[in-house]
Structure 1
Amino acid sequence: MKTIYLLLSCTVLLTACQSTNEANQVPNSTNMIDHVYYIEQQSAQRLVGSSQRLAESFDGYCANQTTKETVVMQWQQTMQSWMALQGQERGPEAALSLNWNIQFWPDKKNTTGRKMSQLLKKDQTWNSELIQQQSVTTQGLGAVEWLLFDPASTLPAEESCQLGQAITENLALNTKKMAQVWQINPWTQLDETMWLNEYIALLANQLDYSMKKLSRPLAKIGQPRPYFSESWRSETSLTWLKYNVEAMQQLYIANGSGLNQYLKDQGHSDLAERIEDHFNSTLETWPESSSLFSELQTKSGYQNTLALYNKLEYLKYLIHEEVAIELNIAIGFNATDGD
């Protein structure tokens, strides 16, 4: 686990450098749409960059030119980049349609593990075109995690290397498609009411998705399902969830021109500050462990996870209920409801 923590720290430093470069390009505007779009566009650009480096590192590893730790670090960086867009249901349809290709989750029946084992047994020379024809369970970040962390993986054997190279190449192609779609702002024609509906739904849907990353493995009290955790193999589930919350906070603030400022301008400063304070306190008191799987093995860990879920539930109440009521917004149907 020390190696994982070290690599995650490196990932944060790399991303911080990228963010610094991008900060110089923040829109010279106070328009909410411009700033939210900028955040989404930059998130898509970071994702394609990190996924391309992942494919390159996998190639280098299989050619004995780099270490497995380097591939793990690039996978982590790609996961971190993906967390900014994961679970969103607003934006260009052509981008949203790629979500399952980039990551298959929830995986309730270990479909990824079974499908990956089957692919390794096939007498096949894999490439990105053939991977595109396979189940989405073997196309994305979960499939790469399986190759890097699951005991059944045969890396660095030739069959696993070839499969991994094909998967990471296809992943880079899909993230490139997503980034290309995000080059055009999908919200420029919306009036203020339509935009507010879209914006709040963007936050609410992503928050709903993030909460399910806890509620599924928490299951019934005293009967957790740790294998329902997002990245149980790499023991990094809570790390990715923290990046989700940080991304939602960034969307809420939107460079000082987002929903937070809009609420203040509309006379709802108290509500705006409560949401901002709750984002901050949730992140400041985040669990030290990166592994939700490990946390759910003990009573105290389960209680800590439940406490974290309750914090997100209160954030959901503030956005779903108080913001929606104050601004007279009806939050639309969430495709993950009822799962």
Structure 2
Amino acid sequence: MKLSLLSVSILLSTTIGLTGCNDEQQTMSNAVHGLHLQSAKQFSSAAEILDDDIASLCRHYSEEQLLTTRTAWQNTMSAWMQLQGREKGSEEALALSWQIQFWPDKKDTTGRKLKQLLKQDKMWTASDVSEESIAVQGMGAIEWFLYEQPTQLQEAKGCNLANGIGDRIAQSGQQLEEAWQDNPWQQMTPQLALSEYLGH
């Protein structure tokens, strides 16, 4: 869930209150940037856990491990919701949005494309997945396996593809964290930095 307007305002005003007025511009910019960087780190960490859980599920399929992996997916999705829908900020980070979550998918593009890929006899890697449609590179693709077609994770081809997608999501998480290392609001006034954050 995204931080509420009230919690963001309290955080920023408290941070600014601890510094002098001369540092207000820098403080506001750093606070807004810090929120994004923290969210990116949380997503990256959750994506790594999800990737590991997908691999564990494929090694030893069980209902218990399926539930564990679904929980990991939910945690990763929750972490992503803090950044999902952003339209301002790091250009590199914004460019990753569609490959992390292809949404809305009203025509079930993800499901149709995954079925096509499952017909191919290949060992899928993150690099292979990155060359396919963005519809099969992210959270929606793993959701399809975990909730719509979990039996595919009992098959070699299904696990092959799911592992490749899990690796791709973890890779995207690392790229997202790297993209937020630089502060895109460094030179902005406090008011503009805040409006950039709140304006999505």
Given the two structures, how large is their TM-score scaled by the length of structure 2? 0.82
- Aligned partner of 1:122 in structure 2 is 120
Q: Which has the higher contact order (CA 8 A, sep 6+)?
A: 2
- 1:43 maps onto 2:29 in alignment: no
- RMSD of the alignment, in Å? 2.3
CA distance in 1 between partners of 2:194 and 2:174 (Å): 28
Cα distance, 1:153 vs. partner? 5.2
Residues 59 and 96 (structure 1), Cα distance of their counterparts in 2 relative to 1, 3 Å cut: same
Q: Is the Cα contact below 8 Å between 2:70 and 2:146 reproduced in 1?
A: yes
- Aligned partner of 1:54 in structure 2 is 50
2:93 to 87, 92, 95: 95
**Fraction of identical pairs, as percent:** 37
Which residue identity is paired with 1:172?
Answer: A
Measured against aligned partners, the alpha-carbon deviations of 1:243-296 in whole angstroms (never above 9, x if no partner) come to xxxxxxxxxxxxxxxxxxxxxxxxxxxxxxxxxxxxxxxxxxxxxxxxxxxxxx
Which residue identity is paired with 1:51?
Answer: A
Q: Is the Cα contact below 8 Å between 1:112 and 1:137 reproduced in 2?
A: yes
Cα distance, 1:29 vs. partner? 3.5
1:84 to 82, 85, 88: 82
CA distance in 2 between partners of 1:128 and 1:153 (Å): 22
- Aligned partner of 2:7 in structure 1 is none
Q: Is the Cα contact below 8 Å between 1:117 and 1:152 reproduced in 2?
A: no
Number of aligned positions between the proteins = 178
- Aligned partner of 2:22 in structure 1 is none
Cα distance, 1:190 vs. partner? 1.1
- Aligned partner of 1:134 in structure 2 is 132
Which residue identity is paired with 2:189?
Answer: D
| Unpaired runs of at least 5, structure 2 | 1-11, 17-26
Q: Is the Cα contact below 8 Å between 2:39 and 2:82 reproduced in 1?
A: yes
Cα distance, 1:196 vs. partner? 4.5
CA distance in 2 between partners of 1:49 and 1:201 (Å): 26
Residues 72 and 193 (structure 1), Cα distance of their counterparts in 2 relative to 1, 3 Å cut: closer
Cα distance, 1:199 vs. partner? 3.1
Alignment of structure 1 residues 99-110 onto 2, 5 Å: 99-110=97-108
- Aligned partner of 2:155 in structure 1 is 157
- Aligned partner of 2:184 in structure 1 is 186
CA distance in 2 between partners of 1:60 and 1:77 (Å): 17
